[in-house]
């Protein structure tokens, strides 16, 4: 079908920064496993307004070492049935970037972000979700007041013949820009997952993600095999 070919080209386009970075011969600094555990709360407090709170606890599977704690807080406004915009802030605490016997100092980064999401229904059981996000990253390593990062995620959702089950396939690319950036390419994530809806208020999702992340230098990369468990709670 035509839309499947379009989705394939989308994935090729989004993965280009990763493929280009790999083609330039970067050194693989380390490949390791991580487990992400996320709780996602949504509260629709007005007909078009909703409050979103995410807490994501991550640890390295090889050692059980704490890896990251990410807290996203954002407010969304629905423009119409298939589009919404959002403003938010993130507190991210980073620990060990890879399994190591040596303790790694914790680093805290604050971000603000602006976001737009669009849904494209294809068939009764298929839909695309597009998410565009621009972040301002405040950290001690930033030479200016903040550094810019753009993110674009495309996700295909397939509701199976059993309506409570949905399959998700996604690709997200992260690009840096601004004064004295180390590399335009930041990271790329490819994800596949499945979710089960227990009620209008509760959904759980499990999935697998491969993450390519620039490791502080243009010629160094981390590759992470990530297992992800998410619980979505709708008030």
Q: How many angstroms separate the CA atoms of 107 and 96, rounded?
A: 10
In whole angstroms, give the CA distance from residue 103 to residue 167.
38
**pLDDT, tens only, 21-38:** 555 557 888 999 999 999
pLDDT of res. 216: 78
pLDDT digits (tens, 9 = 90+) for 188-217: 999 999 999 999 999 999 999 999 999 878
Q: What does the pLDDT read at residue 103?
A: 75
Residues of the chain predicted below pLDDT 50:
1-5, 7-9, 12
pLDDT of residue 173: 97
Dihedral angle sign, alpha carbons of residues 78, 176, 99, 227? positive
Query: How many domains does the chain contain in total?
Result: 1
For residue 138, the cross-strand partners are 110
Cα–Cα dist 147/115, whole Å: 17
What is the per-residue pLDDT for 1? 46
CATH of the domain at 58: 2.40.160.40
In this predicted structure, what is the pLDDT of residue 5?
42
Domain that holds residue 109: 2-234
Question: DSSP per residue over 25-47, as a string?
Answer: --EEEEEEEEEEEEEEEEE--SS
């Amino acid at each position: 079908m035509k839309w499947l070919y379009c989705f394939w080209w989308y994935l090729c386009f989004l993965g280009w920064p990763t493929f280009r970075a790999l083609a330039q011969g970067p050194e693989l600094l380390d490949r390791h496993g991580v487990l992400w555990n996320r709780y996602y709360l949504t509260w629709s407090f007005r007909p078009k307004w909703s409050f979103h709170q995410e807490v994501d606890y991550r640890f390295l599977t090889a050692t059980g070492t704490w890896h990251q704690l990410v807290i996203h807080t954002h407010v969304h406004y629905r423009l119409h049935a298939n589009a919404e915009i959002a403003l938010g802030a993130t507190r991210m605490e980073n620990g060990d970037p890879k399994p190591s016997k040596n303790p790694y100092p914790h680093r805290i980064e604050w971000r603000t972000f602006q976001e737009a999401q669009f849904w494209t229904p294809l068939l009764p059981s298929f839909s695309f979700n597009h998410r565009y996000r621009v972040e301002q990253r405040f950290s001690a390593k930033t030479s200016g007041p903040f550094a810019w990062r753009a993110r674009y995620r495309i996700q295909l959702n397939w509701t199976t013949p059993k309506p409570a089950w949905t399959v998700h396939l996604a690709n997200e690319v992260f690009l840096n820009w601004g004064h004295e950036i180390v590399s335009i390419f930041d990271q790329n994530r490819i994800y596949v997952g499945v979710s089960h809806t227990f009620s209008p208020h509760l959904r759980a999702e499990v999935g697998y993600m491969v993450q390519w992340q620039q490791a502080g230098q243009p010629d160094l990369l981390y590759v992470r095999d990530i297992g992800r468990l998410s619980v979505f709670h709708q008030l």
